[in-house]
Structure 1
């Protein structure tokens, strides 16, 4: 909950169900806007954070719940954990994408109005897909176990070859050189029968390992099934007798998932939803970080034609800030000059820097560290070179906050000299760069990963407001967002944590029970 007394604009009161809810990025945004939200999350650390933040949560695997358990939920949101569906080349990502698209196609065929399938037929289609995925998961588990054994045997052979090379009198550098060549062992030749015998065994294990890797790529992983879950929940609420469709759906993930959202949108259009897909640059929505997210938005249109198919789209969420231009303010000079010629309502603010975001946070939490001008050196390499670490100065937005944010170094600007103290971002600061309130109560042993995986709350504010409150005028929407941003900054943790719910706690929950009659204008 927002924990802020409010007597201003009150929204329609949608009840939101957030799948794969994480530590609460979307949830805190929803509460700030005044919406009730319940999350489902399996990770213990994320659940501990949610508890301390007062977020209503069911802990468990989303697949162990069903849309029918929460009939009073009116909006479905979530960010299913997705593998990288890269379309470059013909690798595992391409195959995983093709597999997911085929499954979505089967669900789409089941719900098309012209096929006139009843609920039982539609449900059977889902059960078949679920069973196929379950069997693949079982087989993949067996293959992974076999892969671990082969890797252990291969490591033993590698050590034996190293020991043999040392025994033969080779220098340390010579041994390292030979071991590096084991990536292509078929090209190695050595005048020693014992070594060559070990090499032959190593090569055979390498071949076996490659076969197992190929098999795992064919089988995919459990995320294939997880990415289908939100779609099935929407279908169940639309097609199951006695159920009411969700009023809106909001899903987000990494840009590689955009092709999946495209297929989702086709199904949602068949179910009577107007949809929109948007690749959002977070700094253009007031997030002090350059990050891209693929967002799917859908709103039920009860004026849909008899066949239920919608072909018109939702409008895109309007950007409020400029896109980051590397090189600092000078790189933006021509763009700023152009912006000043635009009508006042069309101008965009400059993107927010790390320093500005942290300064605002210090006004609320005075014990945050103060630093001189700094440069962040990323834990990741750039341009394919692991040694070429990305750099970003304090007067620019942060690079993408990942689960490795605690490994990023902070050095004096323009140098490689580590700061004397506070040479890493604290969890509170990393959360601020992800636009969480500075007082957000991070818990668990995987805080950096929680922060890196979370939906930036300020981005969620824009998306939720846009999808759930389309009736607001431009002036009203801008005022609503301005107030929401202020409330997000001022958010305070509750005095006491809330209890995390389990499957057994469904009875009596506000989202369970009889769905009230919908009210529409």
Structure 2
């Protein structure tokens, strides 16, 4: 694989611009489908991996670029960094979501305004951007204040521990006191020095909580990033001299679905057919249970039809404990014979493939690259995370089932002998290559740079991307053709190997880039709006 080709792509291929591109999950899927992709990514580690994988990349903050810089991109994709919309406590998640939806509403109002001049639409975006920038600068100051307070709390905590030791408290007693420091003034101590320290710690707690609440009011600094893809679509649709993207595909965690639905309303006003879908990754051949919220849009060149895009059809069963339904003999129309909660339509023999287990995925990868995938006896993966709100109750998943969600802590998961808590004597952790395979990256993917586990955990599963891109970009294919196309793409994805590394690009490389090369007055040097 090399930099994006200088010549035009074939008629069946698309030129894709991928915002927040990560290490290349969508990119590698698009390449095996025959499309050309340029990504924008700021994370140094992900950029290092993209360089090694030969992925065309502009390194930097998406906000430093604009849709007008890439007038020849036909498709916009991306997964903006998600906000903590579901964060517990103080309503922070709800406030962050409401703030984003309010900004989207303002943009939608500008888009729907009849005879709205571009400069006025741009003015709305500039107002939002300035507002977010002011909040971001203020949040930086508050964070600095909070760090100082937290450092003082650490100092006071140490002083409390030291005083407790002087007073002759046992290690267990000291541990219990330190655990109770959220309400230090309720602790029953008569020692004046210790009472003074507890009072000071209590005051610092109050200051810490006030600064935390202030940060929540200012909002998350990622708000502007969540809005970027929408603005890029608006700019390409409304700015004179530019043409709209032919298609848009965005994905993120389930909590972002309300944002995608609000996006869809704006895109419909811009002439797109849209669809949103909560996708279970194992239902698309990914050996992992994970849910992703996806927004799909396709420009309706025949005029607004009002019909939503159809859902991406699932190719595999969703995971259920107890095994797959494929090939079983439960009779449709006889619900008494079905397992509890299993829909009748899921039991049609041969309708869907069985979900893919960790064992099956890694065995296939081991055939391709034996030196990168280890052979193990039957095992259980013990998660680094707790379940059911109990940090001590570690999630467990056996080797003959799909993996639990691969996160940035995947390297901390333990592999124990199945049915025991005994660590495997060898290979008791997944390697980067193996974790990548469970995310459906090719086994030969050249993971590089810092924090590779986080890169893998944050990435779009390429096999999921195959299904979505094929569905949105090739709607004319019939069921048989689409299945054959996906099967071939999956084979090509599994056996993919990197070509020569390519250097990341910067602003100075925009001139002459295939996605920027167009005889328009709009250039990177042109002043806004």
For residue 291 of structure 2, what is the aligned residue in structure 1?
Answer: 292
Residues 1:41 and 2:41 are matched in the alignment: yes
| Superposition map of 1:376-391 within 5 A | 376-391=381-396
What is the Cα deviation at residue 332 of structure 1?
9.6
What secondary structure is seen at the aligned counterpart in 1 of 2:178?
helix
| Superposition map of 1:114-125 within 5 A | 114-125=113-124
Gap runs ≥5 in structure 2: 4-9, 333-343, 521-529
Which residue of 316, 321, 340 maps to 2:316? 321
Over aligned residues, Cα RMSD in angstroms? 2.1
Alpha-carbon distance in 2 for matches of 1:370, 1:342: 35
**Structure 2 vs 1, CA of residues 432 and 470 (structure 1 numbering), >3 Å: closer, same or farther?**
same
What secondary structure is seen at the aligned counterpart in 1 of 2:321?
coil
Alpha-carbon distance in 2 for matches of 1:417, 1:197: 48
Of the structure 1 ranges 332-341 and 416-425, higher mean CA displacement relative to structure 2 is found in 332-341
For residue 518 of structure 2, what is the aligned residue in structure 1?
Answer: 514
What secondary structure is seen at the aligned counterpart in 2 of 1:183?
coil
| Superposition map of 1:157-306 within 5 A | 157-305=156-304
**Cα shift readout 1:302-357 (whole Å, capped 9, x = no counterpart):** 1225xxxx53200000000000002345899577986797486xx10000000100
What secondary structure is seen at the aligned counterpart in 1 of 2:181?
helix
**Structure 2 vs 1, CA of residues 253 and 280 (structure 1 numbering), >3 Å: closer, same or farther?**
same
Contact 1:369 1:422 in 2 (8 A): yes
**Structure 2 vs 1, CA of residues 287 and 400 (structure 1 numbering), >3 Å: closer, same or farther?**
same
What is the Cα deviation at residue 174 of structure 1?
1.9
| Superposition map of 1:111-510 within 5 A | 111-112=111-112, 114-305=113-304, 311-329=306-324, 342=348, 347-367=351-371, 368-494=373-499, 496-510=500-514
Alpha-carbon distance in 1 for matches of 2:21, 2:100: 22
Contact 2:101 2:262 in 1 (8 A): yes
Alpha-carbon distance in 2 for matches of 1:509, 1:330: 50
Contact 1:72 1:515 in 2 (8 A): no
What secondary structure is seen at the aligned counterpart in 1 of 2:386?
strand
Q: Number of paired residues?
A: 503
**Structure 2 vs 1, CA of residues 424 and 343 (structure 1 numbering), >3 Å: closer, same or farther?**
closer
List 4+ stretches of structure 1 deviating above 3 A: 87-90, 327-344
Alpha-carbon distance in 1 for matches of 2:365, 2:45: 24
**Structure 2 vs 1, CA of residues 77 and 341 (structure 1 numbering), >3 Å: closer, same or farther?**
closer
Residues 1:78 and 2:78 are matched in the alignment: yes
Gap runs ≥5 in structure 1: 4-9, 517-521
What is the Cα deviation at residue 287 of structure 1?
0.4
Of the structure 1 ranges 349-358 and 328-337, higher mean CA displacement relative to structure 2 is found in 328-337
| Superposition map of 1:56-67 within 5 A | 56-67=56-67
Alpha-carbon distance in 2 for matches of 1:137, 1:225: 10
| Superposition map of 1:88-103 within 5 A | 91-103=91-103
Alpha-carbon distance in 2 for matches of 1:325, 1:264: 33
What secondary structure is seen at the aligned counterpart in 1 of 2:180?
helix
What is the Cα deviation at residue 401 of structure 1?
0.5
